Structure 1
Amino acid sequence: MKETFSPSVRALRGAPGPPAPPVAPPDPGALAAKVRTLAPSMTRSMQRVAEAVAGDPAGCSHLTVTALAVHTGTSEATVVRTARLLGYPGYRDLRLALAALAAQQATGAAPAVTADIAVDDPLGDVVTKLAMEEQQTLADTASQLDTVQLEAAVSALSGARRTDVYGIAASGLVGQDLAQKLLRIGLIAHAHTDPHLAVTNAVQLRSGDVALAITHSGTTHDVIEPLRAAFERGATTIAITGRADSPVTQYADLVLTTACSRESELRPAAMSSRTGQLLVVDCLFIGVAQRTYDDAAPALSASYEALAHRHTPRAARQA
């Protein structure tokens, strides 16, 4: 039996779905991650509000909705819309989260947002800043990753007759990493970075197969199309994306979201989004390896032995 789908996916497939469970506001510590993830899709006025609350949670927690609107040069309606987009029922809930986040930062429990890399930064500073950004992206992705969806994805992959993975450019490299890991434990998996091959393979999938799409923006047509084809043929579909409301999720039974640090001139989104995607891929692989351990362990041992044999000089092997 297929996993429980979200209401939007059930509607697309024509099946009635259960009432959507109430959504709890995000943890205060995840606020900065939420801002970084959603900022590119916000209007400029909403970005100003989001950046203000993430950059100075202590100061903004003391502001009324009117005061924050004045402070950011926006309107009260924009402040309320921003709060709701960030996952809070209203501005009052956002203020409570800001106060909690300020308290965490005061005790060192929540890291501050790091500065962008400048063109004249010494290489030592570049190493430090990149390391901090990578750590932040990993922490943000872990904090917002839905473990219920993750468990369902692990179950689907563990029992799949075949898994196809779709991704382009940097996301394609992450997809190849996942496919290779699954192959190492004896599962049938293929990564497709060519959009034509992706679609022609997707139309061969059926119930019992898994199609997994990786796209940070969630809008990459060459990734959405093969996932849609697999979706329509009854395969279980999974999306790894930075946007839970992006177009790719309309054809995903399961959605795993990743975080991304702020994009800058010398640090494009593809760099930081790849970090979060690799964390999700590793979580999927470990989960599948745990579920299929009796088969996975011997397969891993066999692959290790084969590689060790290949790396041993011929003379030593013949001795």
Structure 2
Amino acid sequence: MPDASPATRIAAIVNTLRPAERRVVEVIREHPELVIELTAQQLADHVGVARTSIVRTCQSLGYNGYAQLRVALARHTQAGERRRQPAAEDGSDLDVMRAGIAELASRLPQALELLDANALCRAIDLVIGARRLLCLANGLSASLAEDVAARLTSVGRATEHMTDPISQQVTARHLTPDDVVLIISGSGANHQTVLAARAANRAGATIIAITSFESSPLVDLADVTLVIASVSDTFRDELEHTSRVVHAVFLDGFVERIRARLGERGRAARDLTIEVLAANLDDGADR
């Protein structure tokens, strides 16, 4: 991830860091301008950790050392990565919502900084070519899987989906090496989701993971991993809220690329979908 910002790199690995390293990245994320001006020893003293923890944190983030981290911070801070919209807490509820949405929108581009182009292309090819396609998620990601399965089916890529965790595992266990399971999990650690992934792995099916972290039990099982970086400020916020927003935005584009790659098959499916939708619209003329 050579072009990924320090904030994006932190978001992708924060779940794997030791307590001392987490304290270091919290300072890096919240006070990048300060870190740029400090030596490694000064930062260690400021955080209250050993200098070796600073070096280890830099290496975990993919930098050769502390000097390289400082250069990256200077470049991305200068580019205005951390500029934010005013909170507008003194305004109306609508003002506050507008400010929050504007801030989130300004951060969305960083969500794709960790996405590998070759992995994305392979995932699309696998989805299109699978004999059977199963889309799974649990917890806060469950609604995303249901929506993606319906949308993929509507564009001509028939997709199976079930909400019951046991049914997910049973169905995954009955897959074959010609099948693909698309699994969505922000943390990559939801127990029921990991059990379903293990069932698919035992069946020999190909697993595509859409997640927020580069390291997790789900990633360990996946054949293709699409990391959609967090745009939130804290690990807890990532787990509870924001990842679902960036995942939803990504999945919208993912489905669209599959529709486009399906060509005439996708256009024919779209026409059938529109026909069904039109038949279910009621203008009240018969009332």
> What pairs with 1:91-240 in structure 2 (closer than 5 Å)?
91-105=66-80, 110-112=81-83, 122-240=92-210
Deviation string 1:166-204 (CA, Å, 9 cap, x unpaired) is 111320101111101111022221223211000111011
State the match for 1:18 in structure 2: none
Deviation string 1:89-129 (CA, Å, 9 cap, x unpaired) is 22221111112123212xxxx243678898x9852353134
Cα deviation for residue 37 of structure 1 reads 4.2
C-alpha distance in structure 2 between counterparts of 1:257 and 1:113, whole Å: 24
Matched position secondary structure for 2:208: strand
Cα deviation for residue 264 of structure 1 reads 8.7
State the match for 1:246 in structure 2: 216
Output the aligned Cα RMSD: 2.5
Flag the 1:258–1:101 CA change in 2: closer, same or farther, 3 A.
Answer: same
Matched position secondary structure for 2:147: helix
TM-score by length of 1: 0.81
Cα deviation for residue 250 of structure 1 reads 1.4
Flag the 1:171–1:208 CA change in 2: closer, same or farther, 3 A.
Answer: same
| Percent of aligned positions that are identical | 28
Which ranges of structure 1 fall in alignment gaps of 5 or more residues?
1-23
Structure 2 contact 187–239 (Cα < 8 Å) conserved: no
> What pairs with 1:10-29 in structure 2 (closer than 5 Å)?
25-27=2-4
Cα deviation for residue 282 of structure 1 reads 1.9
1:88 to 57, 63, 67: 63
Q: Residue 47 in 1 paired to residue 29 in 2?
A: no
Cα deviation for residue 286 of structure 1 reads 1.6
Cα deviation for residue 259 of structure 1 reads 2.3
Q: Residue 31 in 1 paired to residue 11 in 2?
A: no
Structure 1 contact 262–269 (Cα < 8 Å) conserved: no
Matched position secondary structure for 1:190: coil
Matched position secondary structure for 2:113: helix
Flag the 1:249–1:273 CA change in 2: closer, same or farther, 3 A.
Answer: same
Amino acid at match of 1:70: D
Q: Residue 59 in 1 paired to residue 34 in 2?
A: yes
Matched position secondary structure for 2:210: strand
Which ranges of structure 2 fall in alignment gaps of 5 or more residues?
none
Amino acid at match of 2:28: V
Amino acid at match of 1:45: A
Amino acid at match of 1:250: D
TM-score by length of 2: 0.89
C-alpha distance in structure 2 between counterparts of 1:114 and 1:35, whole Å: 22
Amino acid at match of 1:87: G
Flag the 1:112–1:50 CA change in 2: closer, same or farther, 3 A.
Answer: farther
Flag the 1:47–1:196 CA change in 2: closer, same or farther, 3 A.
Answer: same
